[in-house]
Copies of this chain bind each other. A is one copy, B any other.
Amino acid sequence: MRVLMDVVDGAEIMRVSGPYRAAIGRVGTMDAQDVYASVLTVAERAKLLDPGLNDAHALYHATHDALVGILRDPAGLGPTFRTIALVYAILRGPRKLELQGERDWIAVAMFGSIGVPRPAWEHDAVGLGIYNL
């Protein structure tokens, strides 16, 4: 699989080869709740989720796990006096290309900055969550 992130005419484009579908989103907030809502909305608009709760439930937990890597502490953002600015990608497809007979998986990868809400008082953070569909 090849994933290419690009900007074409001001729009963010993610080109994914093979049996994968993807979407990109951005969120900046001091309330961790906004991250879950943003990822869910972007995934639905990109038609990455089948009807029913199964896929959305897997996406929720993938988002949660990715956010653990960003926060590295379970107490959230506001209560720990921190703000984040994230770009994230959602990817749906096979766990490994050569695997036959497995249903798809869904992954959320996040990259951005986290820090006390003062100009330039932040450092980078990453997170990745993967769950079975």
Residues of A that sit less than 8 Å from B by CB: 31-33, 36-37, 40, 51-58, 60-61, 64-65, 68-70, 72-81, 95-96, 99, 101-103, 105, 107, 109, 115-116, 120-121, 123-133
A72 & B80 in contact (Cβ 8 Å cutoff): no
The complex is assembled from copies of this chain, and their number is 6
B53 & A132 in contact (Cβ 8 Å cutoff): yes
Residue of B nearest to A52 (CB): B102
Chain B nearest CB, measured from A119 CB (Å): 11
- Label chain A's interface by main secondary structure: mixed
A105 & B54 in contact (Cβ 8 Å cutoff): yes
Cα distance, A51 to B72, chains bound together (Å): 26
Cα distance, A120 to B95, chains bound together (Å): 10
- The listed residue (B33, B55, B56, B125) touching A128 by CB distance below 8 A is B125
B-chain residues with CB within 8 Å of residue A54 when the two chains form the complex: 102-103, 105, 132-133
Q: A74-B75, A120-B53 are in contact. Are A32 and B80 (CB under 8 A)?
A: yes
- Extra pairs beyond A53-B115, A78-B79 (19, CB < 8 Å): A31-B79, A33-B79, A52-B101, A53-B95, A53-B121, A54-B102, A57-B123, A60-B81, A68-B68, A68-B69, A69-B126, A75-B75, A75-B76, A79-B79, A95-B123, A99-B120, A123-B130, A126-B127, A132-B132
